Every structure is written in C-alpha cells, then in structure tokens.
Amino acid sequence: MAAKTVVVICAHTDDEALGCGGTLARHSQNGDSVYAIFLADGVTSRPGATAAELASRQAAADKAGQELGIIQAFYLGFCDNQLDSLPLLSIVQAIENILIKIQPEIVYTHHIGDLNIDHRITHQAVVTACRPLPGGSIKQIYSFEVLSSTEWQTPGYLPFIPTAFVDISDLWSVKESALLCYQTEMRDEPHSRSIQNVLNLAKLRGNSVGLPLAEAFMLIRSII
C-alpha cells in the first residue's frame, strides 16, 4: 500500500498524544508521513504564565513528536482558551496555508462536542479548511476524544459516538512514552487525565471491538 500523508490538527500540545498517539505511531511505522498542527499555545490562559513555561511545553511537544514519529510540527501560537475571540476566518486561513504545503490525505482533529472551547473551535476551523473542493487531497477526516474534555461536556450534548477503531495493542508503550513527555499536564489517579485512565480508555475502546487496546474515532468524511 502506498505511503500516505497524515496530519493531526490540535488545539493544544498533548492533545495529539492523548487523542490519537497510538494511531499516529502506527501511521509512522507503516511509512506514512505524519505532521502536526497546534493552534493554541496551551499556557497563556494560566495565571502568571511565563515565556519559560511556553518554551518548556513546546520542547515537550517536540520530544513527544519524536516518540510518535511526527516529522514536522507547526505551532500557530494563538492564545490559549481564547480561540473563540478570534475571527474563525483567521484560524481557517492559518490552517489552509499549511495544508496547501503538505497536501494530506488523512486528517485527525477534535470532537465537535468537547467541553474545551478551543477544541470545539479547532474542529470547526478544520472542517472548514478541509471542505471538499474539486482536486483536494483530503480523503478522510476523523475526530478523536480527549480525556478531561470530551467526557466532561454536559450529558447528551453532541456525544462522542465512535465509528472507527485503531488497534494500538502493540503500541501502548509508544503512546505512554509520548504522554510522559507532558508530565506537567498529566495528573495522578483518580483524575481523568492520568496515565492509568488513558490506559483504561484504550482497554474499553479495544474490548468493545474485540481488541486488547484501541483508539476510537468518529468518521467525519471518507472519500473512496
């Protein structure tokens, strides 16, 4: 099978590892070219945030990207948890400029129903930037779940209903290594965003389709 170009488009660094780290690693192992686009800086919404913290978070993302096989990451640097204060067009155009360069066939991004506002705006911007125009390169778009956002939304509001599953049974150690790069973002049990709970979710998604471990997605569009 011919190698493909894949991109994950996230609101924040660490979302890629939480949402689809194992899947990105599988793409990389299969010879696909994997890129990442991060919209917001993930830091500036926090009281007293410093330039050093911002640099540390990007360094963590670079290290996690090496673990997952991401060949290049693009950091757009929008202010954290303020994407809703920007014109959607400015976000869409920033994404489009990169998509024109890398010409991906497969896109992964956030679920539209997440609690985090940056996740929701990212989804909207991605679907807009990836609209199916004649001659476009994009064939599949998938949305993923992120613990401490997807499941924290108001019950019944645009629920995440998985329709596609990727076997990551032999890639858990890679996903875990990427998550450990973000030690400042991970939490101890019983917090939802703990390493153990990420493993719990992978077991749940895997066992629901007869696999030891899996990542789950909602298929947004597929052109065959």
Structural domain boundaries in the chain? 5-222
pLDDT value of residue 50: 81
**pLDDT over 80 (residue 11):** yes
Q: Which of 135, 158, 102, 145 is nearest to 223 (CA)?
A: 135
Question: How big is the chain by its Cα radius of gyration, in Å?
Answer: 16
**pLDDT over 80 (residue 46):** no
Confidence at 30, pLDDT banded by 50, 70, 90 = very high
Q: Which of 112, 115, 106 is nearest to 30 (CA)?
A: 106
* Protein fold of 5-222: Rossmann fold (3.40.50)
pLDDT value of residue 44: 79
The DSSP bridge pattern shows strands 164-167 and 214-222 to be antiparallel
Confidence at 55, pLDDT banded by 50, 70, 90 = confident
Higher pLDDT: 53 or 183? It is: 183
Could you write out the DSSP letters of every residue in 42-60? SSTTSTT--HHHHHHHHHH
Q: Which of 33, 37, 43 is nearest to 5 (CA)?
A: 33
Mean pLDDT computed over 77-92: 96
Residues composing the chain: 224
**pLDDT over 80 (residue 117):** yes
